[in-house]
Amino acid sequence: MIGKYMCFVFLLCFLCKAEGFLLDGQTDSSGGLTENHFITLMKLLVEEKEQRHNLELAVTQLHSEFQILHKNYSDLKNNCSTILEQYTRLKNVSEVHQIRLDEINQNRANEKIFQSTIVRSITEVTSNISKIQTQVDDLMQLKNIKQLQDVRNLQLVMKTLQQGLLQVNITQQARGQDFLALYNMTLYIRSLSEAQARRITGLSLQLDKNQQQIANVSNAVSLTACLDSDKIHSEESVILFSDIKTSIGVPDASSFITNGTFRCPSAGLYLITVTVTSGTFNAHYFVYINSKKEFNGFVSKHSPTDYTDIGNFEHSGTISVTARLDVNDTLYVQAGKIMYISTWNSCLSITKIK
């Protein structure tokens, strides 16, 4: 069909290349065009234009059909490739199945050989059993001859056993007395052992209790320190409680005196009590744990006529809080503003309670 379309296109192209036509064999070429000549020429031009338009349509249609055929050819080629791949896979699978079938046939042949071997073995075993049965029958005939000798031997053995049993009874009676004495001694030793075990249990409990008390004492942490002199503290300055009253389990007490920072030596729950005495208006302070503000303390507000007369307006502000501290956690008290702090009851107390 493609060849037919190609011939048609070639014919149309040949017709398009025609440049002349014959109007009349007797037309005089020396004169000008007449009206009939002009009309005929216009008709020919119109027909040629229509033919050209029809030719373009035919070429366009042929081109579209050619593209469709080309696409169908590509699809057919792809389908052929797919079918070829499927055929190759099926061929490979068939070869694998054929190999497996050959293996199965070989296994069946081996099984038949094995079954034949088993049948021969069973036949041989059956023959051997028959021979053994014959030998047993022969031995049964000899048994009657030896029975009398066996009876006499058994009588001698029984007599020997009776004598041995009598000796064992005599020995058993003597051992019974010894066993009774040993049993009484065992009961006495058992009673002593139970009493000793109860005593050991009591001592063990007492030892555990003592060890717990020792551990509690060894893990005890307590620090009480007060201000050593009246001072005016600047805002955000650390309050130094340099006068240590009590120090238990605090290895860096000297460092606390210098910088006012308590470093936790043992993890646990701590009771923290801070008391600050000041006459400064709106005096307050903060408790920092690991450089983070955790608690606020307030002294008092008052309305004196003369703020310079601090001594007449002193008040004490106390806070008591609990906090869980880990090893090497830090704690210090910081002034909240420029404030005068008196030594009167201005103290810090830190005690591990659990």
Q: Look at residue 145 and tell me whether its pLDDT is greater than 70.
A: no
Quick check: helix, strand or coil at residue 339? strand
* Pair 320, 273: CB distance under 8 Å: yes
pLDDT band at 148 (very low <50, low <70, confident <90, very high): low
* Pair 48, 71: CB distance under 8 Å: no
pLDDT band at 147 (very low <50, low <70, confident <90, very high): low
As given in the structure block, the two tokens for residue 31 are: 């004169």
Each residue of 190-226: pLDDT tens digit? Answer: 888 788 888 888 887 887 777 666 666 667 899 999 9
pLDDT reported for residue 23: 46
Q: Look at residue 270 and tell me whether its pLDDT is greater than 70.
A: yes
pLDDT reported for residue 284: 92
Query: Model pTM?
Result: 0.41
Q: What is the CA radius of gyration of the chain?
A: 63
Q: What class does CATH assign to 221-352?
A: mainly beta
> In the chain, what percentage of residues exceed pLDDT 70?
81
Range scoring the smallest mean pLDDT among 41-55, 125-139, 291-305: 125-139
- Tell which residue, 286, 272, 273, 309, has the closest CA to residue 233: 286
